[in-house]
Structure 1
Amino acid sequence: MTATWLSKTKNSFRIAVQVSPNARKSEIASAKGDVLRIRLQAQPVDGKANEALIQFIAKKTSYSTQKHRHHTRPFKQTQTA
């Protein structure tokens, strides 16, 4: 089974993510289907959840996140290097 939420670009990886802020703890909720579902403790205020997402992905993958699309939506795309 392949992860359809993960794709390889020329020099990086693209991850399709669905974020649920205000969770009890930050964790991967599901890696099935078209998106990686992540619960974050951070609130969706002043970019806190977006910053928490970048840090969470960096910690889990050991890659830095370069790009981040759809800042104000629960469905996002991040790109790692």
Structure 2
Amino acid sequence: MASWYRSIGEVITLTLHVQPGAKRSEICGLHGEALKLKLAAPPIDGRANEALLKYIAELFRVPVRQVELRQGAQSRHKVVAVTDSAIQPESLLTDQ
């Protein structure tokens, strides 16, 4: 199993390395034991965190209310939980 996510019951917990202020939001592959994402949102007033939750919700095809930032609000290293998604985390790497 990959080290960048855990799946327990209905909840998938992702370890992310986020780079805000990019030209577009995209998955960049693995960065150590985290999934690296670029976000097209500036790290100002929580806008990058808001954009991150929306982007993760799109990737996992769930409403934003089913995505929760658990750690790292002020950091590039974040932990996000996704509830009730049929999407497998490994597929994010193969869809690039």
| Greater helix content | 2
| Deviation for aligned residue 1:33 | 4.0
Q: State the TM-score, normalizing by the size of structure 2.
A: 0.76
Q: Please list every run of 5 or more consecutive structure 1 residues that lacks an aligned counterpart in the other structure.
A: none
Cross-structure match for 1:75: 77
Distance in structure 2 (CA, Å) of the matches to 1:76 and 1:35: 9
Distance in structure 1 (CA, Å) of the matches to 2:69 and 2:8: 13
| Deviation for aligned residue 1:3 | 2.1
Q: Please list every run of 5 or more consecutive structure 2 residues that lacks an aligned counterpart in the other structure.
A: 84-96
Deviation sequence 1:5-26 (CA, Å, 0-9, x none): 1101233010000000010110
| Deviation for aligned residue 1:66 | 2.8
Q: Secondary structure at the match of 2:81?
A: strand
Q: After the TM superposition, which parts of structure 1 deviate over 3 Å for at least 4 consecutive aligned residues?
A: none
Distance in structure 2 (CA, Å) of the matches to 1:67 and 1:42: 16
Taking only the aligned residue pairs, the percentage that are identical comes to: 29
Cross-structure match for 2:67: 65
The CA RMSD measured in Å over matched residues stands at: 1.4
Does the aligned pair in 1 maintain the 2:3–2:33 contact within 8 Å?
A: yes
Aligned length, in residue pairs:
80
Cross-structure match for 2:17: 18
Distance in structure 2 (CA, Å) of the matches to 1:70 and 1:54: 13
Distance in structure 2 (CA, Å) of the matches to 1:33 and 1:9: 22
Task: Map 1:36-75 to 2 at 5 A.
Answer: 36-63=35-62, 64-75=66-77
Distance in structure 2 (CA, Å) of the matches to 1:39 and 1:66: 18
Q: State the TM-score, normalizing by the size of structure 1.
A: 0.89
| Deviation for aligned residue 1:62 | 1.2
